[in-house]
Amino acid sequence: MTRYIIRRLLQAIPLLLLITFILFILLQSMGDPLAAYSGRHRMRPEDRARLRIELGLDKPIYVRYGVWLKNMATGNWGFSVDTNEPVTEMIGERLPNTLLLMAVTEVVILVFSLVLGIYSALRQYSLMDQTFTALSFIGYSMPIFWLALMLIYFFAVRFKAWGLPYLPTGGVYTLSLVELGEKPSRFLGVTYATIPDLLKHIVLPVIAMSTISIAGYSRYVRSTMLAVINEDYIRTARAKGLSERLILLRHALKNASLPLVTLIGLDLPFLLGGAIVTESIFSWPGMGRLFWNQVSKGDYPVVMAILLIISVAVIIFQLLTDIAYTALDPRIRYD
């Protein structure tokens, strides 16, 4: 296993170089890199020429990529062309918020997907199974932006109009609590007023991000569980007198969870990059919202740094997925 991990990591180096080089070329070709510097005032030609030399834009693309790669490897991620803040600080302020949202969302997805998928498989073609199937198709077909807006409309706008306890529509903490003297606190980099207030703010984004995934994941769990519970080794376990709960958890679920592990390994890196639509609609100060704002402003140092983080996360999570296969299925070996 150790040799396999080392080999995969060595193979990831040229892959990562190829990915970042392609992304670098695409971002440099999107438009004028100096557009963010001009602002509302027109830049003089001599200032423009001087700035091109300072930023290295007068050099060939491969030279600029080499300089960028060296800076990234040494921890010098540069400064935002929009705010002139260090890129590491801008990402460091928003990454904990995305990690919090990602962790809560993934826990909700796993719990509900497993419960609904296993229940539907054990009660195949029952009324509840057909109901879950219909709801899954509806949930999977809903656009994320529409779902997010509907959640805001019902649980914030309408609940407030009806005099019911309503949920906040954006941000991480309620400003009115701070104005009343509640000092914002920080935990693992996340700023909040109080824990209950933070939980209220995270409910709607988590529901919006998890609904579609639960609808899809639960169908995978159901189909794989149906295939597994009819295998010979399950019948043998029943013949030995093992309890249904033990058979379900130790034998059936471990083998049925392989496709789910694959899906999670693919989804987690993109959750780490931030859900652009969800974070924008709910004004969640995370990586997705930062990425969208800086792309629209042509802030390529920040955009390239976020894309690099996502690329590294994809490679790492795919490796962890392969390792998880060996823990779930002893027949899988890489040595």
Output the CA angle 254-255-256, nearest 5 degrees.
95
Is 60 in the same domain as 121? no
CA 125 to chain centroid, in Å, comes to 34
CATH number reported for the structural domain that contains residue 308 in this entry? 1.10.3720.10
Whether residue 333 is contained in a domain is answered as: no
Domain co-membership, 181 together with 258: yes
Q: Mark out the alpha helices in the chain (DSSP H runs).
A: 2-28, 35-38, 45-54, 61-73, 87-122, 127-141, 144-152, 159-161, 175-179, 195-228, 232-239, 244-246, 253-256, 258-273, 276-281, 287-296, 300-328
Domain membership flag for residue 239: yes
Q: Is residue 83 part of a domain?
A: no
Q: Are residues 37 and 143 in the same domain?
A: no
Q: How far apart are CA 154 and CA 145, in angstroms?
A: 14
- Do 164 and 244 belong to one domain? yes
CA distances from 130 to 114, 116, 122, 225, 282 (A): 17, 11, 12, 16, 33
d(CA 219, CA 209): 17
Same structural domain, 240 and 102? yes
Q: Say yes or no: 153 and 299 in one domain.
A: yes
What pLDDT, on a 0 to 100 scale, did the predictor assign at position 188? 56
135 and 223, same structural domain? yes
Residue 85 domain-assigned?
no
Integer CA distances (angstroms), 300 to 25, 35, 36, 78, 328, in order: 11, 11, 10, 10, 41
Do 27 and 100 belong to one domain? Answer: no
pLDDT of residue 318: 86
Same domain, 172 and 302: yes
- Please list the rounded mean pLDDT of every run of 10 residues in the chain (335 residues): 82 90 85 62 72 76 89 88 87 88 91 91 90 91 91 92 89 64 60 76 92 90 87 83 81 80 82 80 89 84 90 88 79 67
284 plus 166 within the same structural domain: yes
Query: What gap in Å lies between CA 78 and CA 154, rounded to an integer?
Result: 43
- 193 falls within a domain: yes
- The structural domain count of the chain equals 2
Domain span including residue 35:
2-73
Taking a C-beta distance cutoff of 8 angstroms, is the pair 229, 201 a contact?
no
* Structure-block tokens of residue 125: 């073609």
How many whole angstroms from its chain centre is CA 144?
14
Q: Is residue 86 part of a domain?
A: no
Bridge partners (DSSP) listed for residue 221: none
Give the integer Cα–Cα distance in Å for 46 and 6.
Answer: 51
Residue 23 lies in a domain: yes
Tell me, what's the pLDDT at 203? 93
- Looking at the fold, whether 220 and 324 belong to one and the same domain comes out as yes
* Cα(303)–Cα(225) distance, integer angstroms: 41
Within a domain: 50 = yes
In a shared domain, residues 18 and 55? yes
